[in-house]
Amino acid sequence: MKTILNIFSSKKTKISPPVTITIDHREKNSLIPTFLEEKGFQIEWKQLPVADYIIKNIAIERKTISDLKSSIVNKRIIQQLLELKQYPKHFLLVEGILDEDLYSSSGLHENALRGFLLSVALDYQVPIIFTHNEEDTAKYISVLAKKTDKPKSSIRASKLFKSREEQLQFILEGFPNLGSVKAKALIKKFKSLNNIFNASESELEEILGKKAKDFKSLLN
């Protein structure tokens, strides 16, 4: 039996816009942007002063193994790592561990390379991701883009909050029909619980809408 679609239904399917990935123009010689476009991502080309890929404020510095070794020799990588850390979230992506031996001779002793990788992780505190090839790199970027596109879940059930904002959010999420998104919006606007609780119903309506009345009556 075939399913009959109700074309007069008032419900509309919400179609999410494609995630935009900003790519440095020097990456045009790579197949990665093509792979990403095939996966449905929107590509934005820019001359990026820092990093090769930007996904929702996450910076990625991509290096092939040969490029990594040459940048270590000429010390260019140090400046790039320092610049990369300007972004709150960032990592170094090293590509080609199947096509090229990581420790093959190239004017750089293998222990010097090991020491550098340890320094990146420990001294510069920059995470490192190793990928096999351009397609594997595109898959990592794809997973990252989809992951960051999802809103963060509520922290109500967690006991691991530490910051002041997380503590305020935890308290506010205890109120009925007040999820993480509205809790964060209230904190951003009013700064403190005292200001939130003393706010007028009309002020609260900007964020809570019709639920502002219930929120105020519960406080009273």
Report how far residue 149's alpha carbon sits from residue 146's, in angstroms, rounded to the nearest whole number: 5
In the DSSP assignment, the letter for residue 78 is H
Q: Which domains does the chain have, with CATH numbers?
A: 20-149 (3.40.50.10130), 164-219 (1.10.150.20)
User: What share of the chain has pLDDT > 90, as a percent?
Assistant: 38
The yes-or-no verdict on residue 154 having pLDDT over 60 is: no
Higher pLDDT, 84 or 172: 84
For 210, the token pair is 């019709």
Each residue's pLDDT tens digit, 207-216: 988 888 888 8
Burial group, residue 169, by CB count within 10 angstroms (0-12, 13-18, 19+): buried
Each residue's pLDDT tens digit, 162-216: 577 777 777 887 777 777 888 888 988 888 888 898 889 889 889 988 888 888 8
Instruction: Return the closest-CA partner of residue 187 out of 218, 215, 165, 214.
Output: 165
Report how far residue 75's alpha carbon sits from residue 64's, in angstroms, rounded to the nearest whole number: 16
Beta pairing partners, 59 = 54, 90
The yes-or-no verdict on residue 52 having pLDDT over 70 is: yes
Higher pLDDT, 184 or 24: 24
If one counts every other C-beta atom within 10 angstroms of the C-beta of residue 45, the result is 13
For 68, the token pair is 């990594």
Torsion over CA: 145, 150, 155, 158 (sign) = negative
Q: Look at the pTM and tell me if it is higher than 0.85.
A: no
